[in-house]
Every structure is written in structure tokens, then in C-alpha cells.
Amino acid sequence: MAARHDPLVVTARLEAGAVLTRPPMLDSLLEWVVHNRAGRRLPPARGESCTPLDVPLALSDCGRYRLCSAAQYRAELHEVRHKHRRAPWIEYARLGSDKIRRVDTSAGANKSYRVPFVVVHPESDTLVWYAVGDLEDVRDLVSEVHYLGRHRSSGKGRVLGWEVAPSAVWPGFPVEHDGHPLRPLPDADGFGRRGFAVLMPPYWDTTREEPCRLPAHW
């Protein structure tokens, strides 16, 4: 639980875009750092029950989500790139056992692939989150997040720097703006597309989805 509840604006400056299938959530980034600092390396499995970790963000009144928005950005450019895999057939021949007689690169386990993915270049190369939490603690945790989005292990979504500053507030801050949700919110009256989403990290665990009001681009 956050010791102080300051309205915050958190900005990440990217090197050259990121692979964002959905806008990243601030609390999941902070939980990832807390998880790593505790020396835990494996994320929970899908469907496994997990206790929310202690991150310096305030909880909503209903206690079902944290007071932080999804990343806010306007995509300026979409760039298609590809990921390749080729079976290491030379190594199969050099280092493999006699049992390996044939490598089929057109089907099965050794099939070569060329998968496209889209790199999003947000305006000014920045992603912005709004939150209520402890400025110093949030700054300390985000300083360890150096990559965002998918394909981080091969350098996509590299973060050049973070800025955490006090923010101006508005009605519904930080989870709504003009009545429109800035993150998935429990389903209730109001603006926003309806759909299924997860309210607390890990957001990729779709077994915990529930009816929600969804932000744009979700």
C-alpha cells in the first residue's frame, strides 16, 4: 500500500518505439520490479492464484484495482518488422546423435518461420501514465524498468529514461478523463467500450478476466 498518495504523471522516453499489443499498465511494471528484487525469477503460471505484491500505488475505493492508468500515447508511426527462426540444422549434423537422420524445415518441430510484428512509434517517443502513489518509491521502482512491450529480450521497447512528477488532477483522476476510462474498470454505467479484461496484475492471465469498461486502444 502506498505510504503517500500524490497525484503523479510518469513518463517513459523510448529509444525507437516498442511492440505494444496493449498499452502497458504501470502497476504491472512496478510489481515486476518488486518480484525481481525479491529474487523471484519465474512469473506465476496462467490460472495460478497469486497475491498482489506491495507496490507504492493507492488502491481504488472498491479495492479491485490500483489507481493508475494504462499507458497513454498516440501512435505516430507503425512499422512492420519480422522475427525469424531457422532450425540449427548444421548443429544437428555436427553435434547431434545418430538418431537424427532428417530435419524437415517445412513442417513440424523444425519448421522455419518469419513472423511479422508491429513496432509502434508513439508521438515524441514517450508513453505517459497517471497514478496516485508515492513519488519517490515509484521513481525508485521504475528506474529498473529498461524495456517495455513485447520482444524485450531482443532490444525492442528500450527505455532511455523515466520522469516521475506531480500531476494536475481532474475529476476521475487517474483512471477516467471526461468520463472515458483510462484503464479497464469494473463494469458500471458510463462511457467506454464493454469487454473482458483483468483488473490486477498479471494482466496476461486471461483466466481472471471479468466484464469491464475498456479504454480506447484496448
What are the cell numbers at 101? Answer: 537422420
Q: Which of residues 50 and 59 has its CB atom nearest to other proteins in the complex?
A: 50
Q: Which of residues 62 and 136 has its CB atom nearest to other proteins in the complex?
A: 136
Using alpha carbons, list the distances in angstroms from residue 108 to 102, 111, 123.
12, 5, 41
Question: CA end-to-end span of the chain, whole Å?
Answer: 27
Q: Which of residues 11 and 110 has its CB atom nearest to other proteins in the complex?
A: 110
The DSSP secondary-structure symbol of 218 reads -
What are the cell numbers at 59? Answer: 488502491
Cβ 119 to other proteins, closest distance in Å?
8
Identify which of 192, 191, 209 has the alpha carbon closest to the alpha carbon of residue 200.
209
What are the cell numbers at 47? Answer: 490460472
Cβ 99 to other proteins, closest distance in Å?
7
List of residues contacting other proteins (CB under 8 A): 15-17, 36-37, 39, 41-48, 77, 79, 81-85, 87-88, 91-92, 94-100, 109-110, 119, 121, 125, 140, 143-144, 146-147, 151-156, 158
Question: 127 in helix, strand or coil?
Answer: strand
Strand partners, 85: 113
Q: Which of residues 93 and 216 has its CB atom nearest to other proteins in the complex?
A: 93
Cβ 17 to other proteins, closest distance in Å?
7
Cβ 51 to other proteins, closest distance in Å?
15
Q: Which of residues 158 and 180 has its CB atom nearest to other proteins in the complex?
A: 158
